[in-house]
Structure 1
Amino acid sequence: MKISKGTLLIKNGQMVDGTGANAVPDAVVIVDDGYITFAGPVDEAPECTPCQVIDAQGGTIMPGLVEAHFHPTYFNVAALEDLDIKYPVEYVSILAASNAKLALECGYTSARSGGSLFNIDVWLKKAIEEDLIPGPRLVASGREICGIGGLMDWNPEYRKIGMEGLVLLVNGADEARSAVRKLVKDGIEWVKTYPTGDAASPDVNDHHTLCMTFEEMHSVVQTAHNHGLKVTGHCRATEGIKNALLAGYDSLEHGTFMDNETMDLLLQRDVPVVPALYFEYASVIHGPEMGMPQAVIDGHQETLDGGAESARRILREGGRLGMGGDYGFAWNPHGDYAKELSFFVDHVGFTPLETLMCATKTGAEIMGRADELGTLEKGKLADVLIVDGDVLQDISILQQRDRFLAVIQGGEVKAGTYLHHPNTQNFAEQV
């Protein structure tokens, strides 16, 4: 990905640096050749002669957001079959590129894939990094792994089609090991698995059901770690979460139902969790109009309540949470990513500072790029979001793309109103 050359100065805004620290009321961020060289109070800023100045107009200067559970190939999914057989791979690739562009325009400068049809996200990442298309810095997961008959194995035998485009189905430790080796060849970085079921499948694979054995999960981790890959999993049921932690998973998706023993194990291992709660809320609210059975809606409500309580405990007891999840459904579309942030403030009880730390710093940690991304600190890549307004007073501003003055990647403005009204005056003429 191209790094902007020259010196950029961002001024006249409060800075929320992503570390969880209090905002700096009147801050300056200086960027040299795509990297931050100063981020702090204006009266401590070194002298510089910028070639580009962005006036934050009294708004907020913050790190670019990280979508930690991004499904680039999901698009207006209304039924499970839409995930794998609705469109041919050629069209899904185009949809994924469109979703990536939208994510960047929504202020998400980085993302970790939570699974992708075929290995489209691997090639999407390459296209973004080579500046062929705009999008967030991406960590790819490719196809997912699930036990035969589990949550993701929905195509019945009479269709005479498999699930190979979306998920690798396994039966036993040897097949689990083989599946990971296929993903190694695909070029993925995170292995996504399905240890448990979900409220969407109340009859045979509900949110208290296991979809993989411990032996299968352990084989996945052992093989993935041997090749330098990380492992995550869709974990709702308590036993599935415990199995994932004991098997050596590197993160958990959802982490819904956690007893004290499981919570202690999570904190001991310091494994980050991406709860993805807004999807559950959207499912409860929009379920009736989407024709969801009441059992499914009730399951989502139970999942929402359990997941919110687990998230509160994780943060309160010193654990780590990322933000994002499962956008691309008809009732939870791409572009609504920041609704997750408002939900955590308005319904879960997090402060805006805590929520933004999860959505930036912890997101970068989950990606494995905490040394480069996630906070506004000297030496980090200049992935910056400049917002018209005080996000600590009203975090819902982050849902309004017309309030984004600039979305910056590597010091280069990629989206926002500044693109149409650039301010290029010399800093010395404005102080």
Structure 2
Amino acid sequence: MKTATNKTVIKNGQIVDGTGAQPIADGAVLVENGRITFVGKQDDLPPLSAETEQIDACGGTIMPGLVEAHFHPTYFNVAKLEDLDIKYPVEYVTLLAACNAKLALECGYTAARSGGSLFNIDVWMKKAIENDLIPGPRMAASGREICGAGGLMDWNPDFRKIGMEGLILLVNGADEARTAVRKLVKDGVEWVKTYPTGDAADANANDHHTLCMTFDEMHAVVQTAHNHNLKVTGHCRATEGIKNALLANYDAIEHGTFMDDETLDLLLARDVPVVPALYFEQASIEVGPEYGMPQDVIDGHQETLEGGAESARRILAAGGRLGMGGDYGFAWNPHGDYAKELEFFVNYVGLKPLDVLKCATKTGAEILGREDEIGTLANGKLADVLVVDGDIVTDISILQDRSRIIAVMQGGITKAGRLTVPMINHRI
């Protein structure tokens, strides 16, 4: 991805640097050749040449670009499970994924980690973004996901004779788990996504207290992935599934819904980040009935919501790390609503706005393994900067309003926001 070759100063706004520190009033950020060279009080800026481009934050907020840590680029208007893998041909899904990537950038998300993708579209989309062929967040790709046969993601009945090869690699035993990871190695992924547990969405067979992979399968996945320098994460709701993932040396946990004291101690000992992705549960409860969601599934989402919120509070209070991101792309939780997750964690979970913003920037960058380059406003880092018209610390919901986004900058180049040519306002 190209970086700017000029000098730009962003001023007349408070600085929220992504570390959780208190904002700097009357702040400024200086960008030279795509990297940050000054962060601090506007009065302390070094002398600027007449050629320095100036961006006015309009008294709003200057902050790091947001990180969507659980991004499903190939999900779109999903109303039932089959919509995830057989509704459209892969050619059309690829185009839709590119639209989702563009939309994420327009929403202020300058980086994202894929939480799973139809085929390995996200792998190639990452290459297209890095080569400046399409706009989108800096990506970490996961490709296809791994689940035990008969588990949560094994929904196509055998009589269809189509399997799950486009979205899920189904495994029976440790040997098949190793084979699945080796396929993903060849595909070029960075993260291996697995399904150790079920979900409220499958209330009858694989609910949120059900295991969908054995420990031996999970350990084989990690052993093989780590041998090839890949990281492993997993959809973990049931307590035993979270514990198994930690004992198998997973690198991250998705959801981490029902966490007891023993499991929390394991998590903290290994400093493994968790991406709760909880707003999806709230959206399912509120909007799911409009799409015919059964009451037992809604009840399961309610239990998941309450358990996940409590676990998230405990993790952060104990010094653990949370990333922000969610299962966007469902009909009741569409792409473009990413920042609703942030408001939800303030208003429902009860976290402080600066802590949530740290989770959505610094911790997100750590999950991507790019904390030395992005995630905070600091000298020497890439100038992935978000400029917003408003005080997001007192009203974090402002981040949901794209009309309030002044500039979305990657490597010092403004890619979206008011300062760019107006884009089509779309939602998939």
Class of the TM-score when normalised by the shorter of the 2 chains: over 0.9
- The equivalent residue for 2:326 is 325
C-alpha offsets along residues 310-357 of structure 1, whole Å, 9 cap, x if unaligned? 000000000000000100000000000000000001100011100000
2:2 aligned with 1:2, yes or no? yes
CA distance in 2, matches of 1:143, 1:100: 18
- The equivalent residue for 2:426 is none
Tell me the CA shift for residue 420 of structure 1: 5.0
C-alpha offsets along residues 246-283 of structure 1, whole Å, 9 cap, x if unaligned? 00000000000000000000011000000000000000
SS in 1 for 2:202: coil
- The equivalent residue for 1:270 is 271
- The equivalent residue for 2:339 is 338
CA distance in 2, matches of 1:44, 1:233: 46
Q: How does 1:103-122 map to 2 (within 5 A)?
A: 103-122=104-123
- The equivalent residue for 2:198 is 197
Amino acid at match of 2:270: R
- The equivalent residue for 1:160 is 161
- The equivalent residue for 2:33 is 33
TM-score, reference length from structure 1? 0.97
CA distance in 2, matches of 1:132, 1:4: 16
2:126 aligned with 1:128, yes or no? no
- The equivalent residue for 2:415 is 414
Q: Number of residues paired by the alignment?
A: 421
SS in 2 for 1:268: helix
2:142 aligned with 1:137, yes or no? no
4+ runs deviating over 4 angstroms: none
- The equivalent residue for 2:253 is 252
- The equivalent residue for 1:429 is none
Q: How does 1:55-134 map to 2 (within 5 A)?
A: 55-134=56-135
Structure 2 gap ranges (5+): 423-428
CA distance in 1, matches of 2:91, 2:419: 34
Tell me the CA shift for residue 418 of structure 1: 1.5
CA distance in 2, matches of 1:38, 1:187: 36
Tell me the CA shift for residue 287 of structure 1: 1.5
CA distance in 2, matches of 1:179, 1:419: 43
CA distance in 2, matches of 1:383, 1:19: 15
Tell me the CA shift for residue 48 of structure 1: 2.2
CA distance in 1, matches of 2:381, 2:302: 40
**Pairwise CA RMSD of aligned residues?**
0.8
CA distance in 1, matches of 2:147, 2:187: 17
Tell me the CA shift for residue 199 of structure 1: 0.1
CA distance in 2, matches of 1:26, 1:388: 14
- The equivalent residue for 2:374 is 373
C-alpha offsets along residues 96-153 of structure 1, whole Å, 9 cap, x if unaligned? 0000000000000000000000000000000000000000000000000000000000
- The equivalent residue for 1:389 is 390
SS in 2 for 1:239: helix
Structure 1 gap ranges (5+): 422-431
2:11 aligned with 1:11, yes or no? yes
SS in 1 for 2:129: helix
Amino acid at match of 2:327: D
**Identical pairs, percent:** 77
TM-score, reference length from structure 2? 0.98
